[in-house]
Amino acid sequence: MTLFSRQSRCSTFVLLSLTAIIASTVLISSSDNADARHRRGHRAKVVRPPAAPAVPLPVVPPLPQDNPRAAAPEAPKPAEKPADEIQKADPETTPVPEQKPAPETQPAENPKEPPKPAEQLGPNPLPKQDAGDKPDHEESVEKADPSISPDRVYQNACPALMNGEVVGELVPPLSEGMCGERSPLKVTAIGKDNTVKLAAAITTNCAMAGTLANWVVEAQKEAQKDFGAEIESITTGSDYQCRKVNNGHKGRVSEHAFANAVDIVSFKFKNGKTTGLGSGWKGKPEEQTFWRALHKASCDRFMTVIGPDGDAAHQGNLHLDLGCHGRKCEARICQ
C-alpha cells in the first residue's frame, strides 16, 4: 500500500466521524426544543386564564419630526415696488391705496353753517321724505287739496276754529322770554249761528276761543231780554300782552302773557243801542241787569272773572281768563 492511499483513508474516516457528531448534536437539540415547547404549552393551558381578544391598534405611521438643531434659513423678502409700477403691472386686480396728504397740506374743514332759527316752537321737523316714500293717505290728501303744505307744522289744531265756532286763523307761535303761545289764533268774530264781530281782532289760544264761543251764546240771550236785539259787535281791551298782572313791575305774570285772557269793554246791538261796563255797571236798569247776568255767566265758564267790584283796575273792563288756581287747577276766582 502506498502512502497516498493511507492518507486518503484517514481523511475519509475523519469526515465520517465529524458528520456523525454533528448529526447527533442536531438530534439532541431538536428533542430538547420539542420537550421545552411541550412543557411551556402544558403550563399555559393549566395555569394561565384565557386571554382577552386582542384589540387591534390603529396603525399610525410615525410622523417625521423636524430637527430642532437645524434652523430654517429665512426666505428672502421680495423688494417692494413703487405703487406706480404695481398699478402698471395689473391695474384691475391690484388697487393702490390712496395716499393721504401731509398734515400741513390737508385742507381745513369747512365750518358748519349756524343753525337757522326755528320758525315755530316744538320739536325740529322730521327730514323730508322722497315722493316715493310718502304714505298713500298723505299723498291722497295733498292731491285733494294742493294748498296743503308738505312741510309739517308743529302746532295744535283748534276744533273751535275748524268747526266755525270762531272766525279767524292760526298764526305763528309767540315767544317773548317766558311769555308766548305755541298755537295762537287771530280771532275776528265769535259764534257759529249768530256771529258777533269783534271791533278789533284779538290774539288768543284755542281754549279761550272755544270758551268765548259758548259764552257769547249766553250773552245773546241776555241781549234779547234786556235790549230786545242781538249783539252786533263787541269791543275788547287787552288780549295778548307780555306783562305782569295789572301792568305791575312785581308779582306774577299775567294770563295775558300766554294768550289766555281777554278784557271785555262794551257791546253794540243790532238795533243801534250800546252799553259799556264803565257806565253800565251802575247805569240804567237794563244795563245793570245785562252786565250782572253777563258777569254770572262768565264765572260759570272761565276760571278768573274780575269786574268793577274786584279792583280799581277793572272798573271799565271785564277780565276773563282760563288760568290755573289751586293745587289741582279746580278753583275759580269770581270778583
Rounded Cα distance between 168 and 187, Å, is: 4
Smallest CA-to-CA distance from 124 within 148, 152, 150 is with 152
- Is the pLDDT confidence value at 26 over 50? yes
Task: Note the pLDDT tens digit of each residue in 101-153.
Answer: 544 444 444 545 554 444 444 444 444 545 444 444 444 544 556 566 666 66
Question: According to the model, what pLDDT value does residue 48 have?
Answer: 55
- Is the pLDDT confidence value at 324 over 90? yes
Query: What cell numbers appear for 42 in the block?
Result: 402544558
Q: Which of 63-77, 237-251, 303-317, 318-332 is predicted with the least confidence, judged by mean pLDDT?
A: 63-77
Query: What cell numbers appear for 23 in the block?
Result: 448529526
**Winning range, highest mean pLDDT, from 72-86, 94-108, 152-166, 285-299:** 285-299
Rounded Cα distance between 267 and 283, Å, is: 14
Distance of CA 124 to the CA centre of its chain: 13
List residues bridging with 262 in a β-sheet: 320
Q: Residues 35-59: what's their mean pLDDT?
A: 53
Which stretches of the chain are DSSP H helices? 3-46, 83-89, 136-144, 159-162, 206-227, 277-280, 285-299
Smallest CA-to-CA distance from 266 within 256, 278, 252, 254 is with 278
Task: Note the pLDDT tens digit of each residue in 86-101.
Answer: 444 444 444 444 555 5
DSSP letter (8 states) at residue 244:
B
Question: According to the model, what pLDDT value does residue 32 have?
Answer: 57
Question: Three-state DSSP class for 219?
Answer: helix
Question: According to the model, what pLDDT value does residue 237 have?
Answer: 96
User: Is 332 within 8 Å of 304 (Cβ atoms)?
Assistant: yes
Rounded Cα distance between 125 and 152, Å, is: 7
User: Is 295 within 8 Å of 309 (Cβ atoms)?
Assistant: no
Question: According to the model, what pLDDT value does residue 16 have?
Answer: 76
- Is the pLDDT confidence value at 85 over 90? no
SS (H, E, C) 167-199: EEEECCCEEECCEEECCCEEEEEECCCCCEEEE
Question: According to the model, what pLDDT value does residue 215 have?
Answer: 97
- Is the pLDDT confidence value at 202 over 50? yes
- Is the pLDDT confidence value at 308 over 90? yes
Q: Which residues contact 154 (CB under 8 A, 6 or more apart)?
A: 120, 121, 122, 123, 125
Rounded Cα distance between 176 and 68, Å, is: 87
Q: Which of 6-15, 189-198, 301-310, 321-330 is predicted with the least confidence, judged by mean pLDDT?
A: 6-15
Query: What cell numbers appear for 150 in the block?
Result: 308738505
Amino acid sitting at position 120: Q
Q: Which residues contact 87 (CB under 8 A, 6 or more apart)?
A: 94, 96
Pairing of strands 274-276, 196-204: unpaired
Q: Which residues contact 328 (CB under 8 A, 6 or more apart)?
A: none
Residues 274-295 as b or e (16 or more Cβ within 10 Å = b) = ebbbeebbeeeebbeebbebbb
Question: According to the model, what pLDDT value does residue 57 have?
Answer: 54
Question: Three-state DSSP class for 305?
Answer: strand
Question: According to the model, what pLDDT value does residue 251 have?
Answer: 86
For residue 334, count other CB atoms closer than 10 A to its CB: 16
Smallest CA-to-CA distance from 263 within 281, 274, 277, 284 is with 277
